[in-house]
Amino acid sequence: MFNNPVNEATDYIKRVVGVPGDTVEMYDGVVHINGQPQARQLVDGEYIVHNITDSGQWYDQQEALYQESLSGVPHSVLQTPTRMPRHEGPYVVPEGHVFVMGDNRDNSSDSRHGLGVTGYGRTEFVPYGHIKGKAMVVWLSLGYHGLFHGLFGGTGLRLDRFFEPVR
């Protein structure tokens, strides 16, 4: 969890992918750290996620769900095969900073895309001083058809995720 250095009014939770001195690249959706591809395995090539438009309308989107391992730590990652660029990077992480990526790789305001502020094509690293700590548990989760969704246009409380550990 960190305070966004280019919009300090916002806190983000993203995965740290690179530390000072690392070179991070993406080839066909696979993360490479210092030239080493990070293991990943397809779990479901037709995984359906519920997304919401800026106007509050829900829609289903098909994604590919992968199990990825960054330096031996497994976690789930979503990617849109039709949007996956062939190559991204190299991103060389400067001293005193980290490189972050979202687990929803093609829909994430992360280091590759200016942390959602300075835009696509502009790399933004997170300075150590902006890191607040590690996210440990989900304390609030809102989503499609959760509790009380009828009152809020389809968005409701996802009680099944409350107090679950962050993986």
The per-residue pLDDT for range 117-166, each reduced to its tens digit, is: 887 678 999 999 999 998 888 777 778 877 787 777 788 888 777 778 77
What class is the 2-132 domain?
mainly beta
> Regarding predicted confidence, which is higher, 137 or 30?
30
Tokens linked to 50: 């519920």
Give percent of the chain with pLDDT exceeding 70.
99
Task: Output the pLDDT for position 145.
Answer: 77
- Over residues 100-129, the mean pLDDT reads 90
Sequence spans of domains, the chain: 2-132, 136-167
Q: Is the pTM of this model over 0.75?
A: yes
Q: Is beta strand 15-18 parallel, antiparallel or unpaired with respect to 23-27?
A: unpaired
Strands (E) in the chain, as ranges, are 2-3, 11-12, 15-18, 23-27, 30-33, 36-37, 40-52, 58-70, 73-79, 87-92, 97-101, 126-127, 142-144, 155-157
